[in-house]
Amino acid sequence: MEKPAIDRSAKKVIRSASQILGWRLKPPFTLKSIIHHHYLSSALFPILAIDLVLLVLYFGVTGYLSNHNGAALRQIALTNLHGFMLQEAEYLNQRLSEISRTARILQDQQSRFFQMSPWQNLTLPNGEPRFAVHANGVFYKEEDNGGSSLYYAATTNIGEVERRKARATEWLDPMLKQVVESQPLVAQAYLNTFDNMNRLYPFLSDAPGMFGPELNVTSYNFYYLADAQHNPSRNPVWTTTYLDPAGKGWMVSCVVPIYSGNLLEGVTGLDVTIRDFVTHVLALPLPWSGSAFLLDEQGSILAMPPKVEVILGLKELKDHDYKQTVDRTMLRPASYNILKHADPMVQQQFHKLLGEGQEQGVLVSKGERYLMAHRKVPLTGWHLVTLVDESVLLASQDALASLMLRIGLWVGTAVVVFYGLFFIYLSRKSLRLAGVIAQPLLHLAQQAKQVEAQQSGVTLAPVGVMEVDSLSESFNRMVQTVQQRTEKLESTLIESQLHEEKAKLYASQVSTDSLTGFYTTSEIAVFAQREIARSRRYYQPFSLLLVKGVRSDLSQEPHAYGAMAWLKNLAEALDEQLREIDLVGHWGDRFLLVLLPSTELGQAAQLAKRLQDDLSQRMMEDQEAFQLNIVVGQLGDETELEPLLQKFLDGLASDANAPERRTVVLQMGRAVPLSTYLK
């Protein structure tokens, strides 16, 4: 039936109003609520939406500018660091070149000196030295005469040649002294000869105790790196960091070979301690509180300031506790090789920086980000690396971003407070307006309730509003029409109810018998066909009982004479034993058919036994001589009821003992005793 046009129009108006409001009102709606919400949405929400858009734009623009400025600052910092590294690497290269040139001067002087052998009539600058033999067998210079110390290992046989060399090399002291005093980075200068003689400036007072009786200078890196095998070009060579046997701690050396012809007389060297490197070279005034450190060609750390120690998690090795003699070359541990750092991420980032020749990069260590700049020192192949904490670099930008965020939050808070007050104002104003509009309609609704209570005799009076008065007039006409139609409807409804009651009574009489309530043959056939279809569709078991009542002497059937009591007792027994889903009906004039949905054959056989026992007890009490013959079977491949019942009758007829059995179970089309299912 089509809905009235007025109902459809009302719902359309309500739906449109909800869409205009921007949210869904929960029914029932009132005109006052619709006007109130519509007024608020029309007046407040557009302005609020604009302000929200402006706030989003503000935060979006400030965020974009913050990120853009951060990227620009990083690029500026990397550019500045790159230029700074060019200058500092060149400065370091000049300092190292100056030391290398000085080493070359010492090489020329000492090479000429050894070519002057046997040094006849040689005047010594500090007078005649005093030599002695230590208790451990070392030949050494006994007192400081303003020059260098001298040490000859106990393993060297001191003869006239050795004594003459020890005395003559005093001539070299002024140059060694001048080098140390004029070069701020040079901590000491020395000459080591192939026969384990060491001349060292400044004077080492306890050289025999410091070096021990056996000092094989040729086994140290500050000697063999300058020999013909490692340095065939005879140029100055820089060592990696090692522990100084003379007690100066960790250092690097610039060494040159001293030849007399093709004979390697010895190696002279200039030592620079790591402490001096950190103090004079790496203490650079880097921008943004940056720090610089130095790596050798293999990535081992040569020198680093305290800041870098914290970043890399390593402690700079500057000094050493000389409890034992340093009798071999002691290099830094492998953990001081940056390419073997304990943090795989640090390894990877420095592999890119050093191995791939990048000049810039980013280091992530302990959750902090650092900008890296790298430059190679041409003379030695060392790597000068600077680190700048990105948080320090972006501190000003972060402060500005924080300020912009606070300003945005203050503005947002002010907007919320303003619109909260504005919302209260508009809400009150809209409620007053909604009341002015809705009040006549409320009056109309009250009058309509009076009409509903009195049913008749009440009409709606005009209220002075044209639209409402028109609605009242239409409503009065509608009330009259409804009253007329209601009277006709009531009359028609009474007639319809009487007709329906008669139909129900007739249907019940047709579908069941009045004595037992059993379904008629036609009805039970319909139910049986439906259950057969359901069983086959859902693969559920379906069993049936075919029941027949006879006198105990087998002479007559109970229908031949008054068997009403028998049928009544059977109906009561079935009512107690069957489930609500089970159905019972007449099958012709001689049988009752019991439908057992979702029931296995064994369960149906047990039910048949209970019916036999129950009915026997009832008939004994009524002194009636009737008994039941029951055929129990289960649905097989049949799809119709008639073939299934015919199988029941055929199975019963094939059993010669059927007259003596009260209950027969059909299994696979053959009759078997009931006792088979009662064990």
Mean pLDDT of 220-232: 93
Q: What is the 3-state secondary structure (H, E, C) of 106-155?
A: HHHHHHHHHHCCCCCCCCCCCCCCCEEECCCCCEEECCCCCCCEEEECCC
The answer for residues whose C-beta is within 8 angstroms of residue 218's C-beta and 6 or more apart is: 194, 196, 224, 227
Q: CB count, 10 Å around CB of 167?
A: 17
pLDDT higher at 309 or 454: 309
Element housing 499 (H / E): helix 466-511
**Of the candidates 418, 467, 393, the residue with the CA atom closest to the CA atom of residue 51:** 418
Comparing CA positions, the residue from 76, 73, 81 lying closest to residue 375 is 81
Query: Which tokens is 282 given?
Result: 């790496």
CB burial string 299-328: b at 16+ within 10 A, e below: bbbbbbbebbeebbebebbbeeeeeeebee
Distance, in Å, from the CA atom of 587 to the CA atom of 579, rounded to the nearest integer, reads 20
**Which long-range contacts does 427-434 make (Cβ < 8 Å, 24+ apart)?**
427/36, 427/40, 429/39, 430/35, 430/36, 430/39, 430/40, 430/43, 431/32, 431/36, 433/35, 433/39, 434/31, 434/32, 434/33, 434/35, 434/36, 434/39
Q: Which domains, from first to last, does the chain contain?
A: 521-677 (3.30.70.270)
Is pLDDT above 90 for 14?
no
Of 355 and 461, the one with more pLDDT:
355
The residues, ordered by sequence, that sit 6+ positions from 648 with a Cβ below 8 Å of its Cβ are 544, 546, 631, 633, 666
Q: What percent of the chain has pLDDT over 90?
A: 21
Q: What is the pLDDT of residue 1?
A: 44
Whether the CB-CB separation of 399 and 114 falls below 8 Å is answered with no
Instruction: Write the pLDDT tens digit of every residue in 435-460.
Output: 666 666 676 666 666 666 655 555 66
Stretch 298-307: mean pLDDT:
82
What's the pLDDT score for residue 316?
Answer: 64
**What confidence score (pLDDT) does residue 238 get?**
92
Lowest mean pLDDT among 379-393, 396-410, 515-529: 396-410
Cα dihedral value 427, 429, 430, 433, nearest 10: 160
Q: pLDDT tens for residues 475-533? A: 777 777 777 777 777 777 776 666 666 555 545 555 777 777 888 888 888 998 999 89
The whole-model pTM stands at 0.50
Which pLDDT belongs to residue 611?
85
